[in-house]
Structure formats: structure tokens, C-alpha cells
Amino acid sequence: MEWIALVLAVGALLISIWALKRTGGLADIKAKVDALSSLGLTEMKKQVESIAESFREKTADILDRLEKKVRGEEKREEGDSIRREEEGPKGEG
């Protein structure tokens, strides 16, 4: 039984070596990986910059809206306190 497993393992090893040589070998694989890595990094860098710029714009918009709401509420509070002072205490009539 062990002999059959050994023969199958050696056969699988030979087939994998044959397939590796047929596809171009290790040198070709390394060249392809390097080419794809440099291309991938360039594309990835562009995507990250695009996402970062979009994030900056959205953050600026949100902060602008927040500022308008806060300042708007401050103006309302100031206006309400001025009106209260003009009206006097409630119940005076």
C-alpha cells in the first residue's frame, strides 16, 4: 500500500515539474510577478489617492454643514435671549 502512495507522489511531482517548465519556469514567473506588482502598486496608489480626495471632500462638506447648524443655533439662541429681555418676565403682562 505504501508503494502505491509513493509511486503516486513521485508521479504528481513529475507532472508538476513538467507543468512548471511548460509555463516558462521560475524566471518567467518572477518577471511576471514583478511586472504585476509594479503595475498593481501604481494602480493601487491612484485608487487610494482618489479615495482619500473623495474622503477629504466629504469630510469638508460635513464639517461645513455642521458649522452652519451650530452657528445657526447660536444665532437663534442670541435672538431668543434678546426677545426674552425685551418682553420682560412672563406674567407681567
pLDDT for 66-93, tens place per residue? 998 888 876 666 666 666 666 666 555 4
What's the residue count for the chain? 93
85 φ, ψ to 5°? -65, -40
pLDDT for 9-52, tens place per residue? 999 999 998 888 887 777 777 777 777 777 777 777 788 888 88
Which amino acid is located at 7 in the chain? Answer: V
CA distance from start to end of the chain: 108
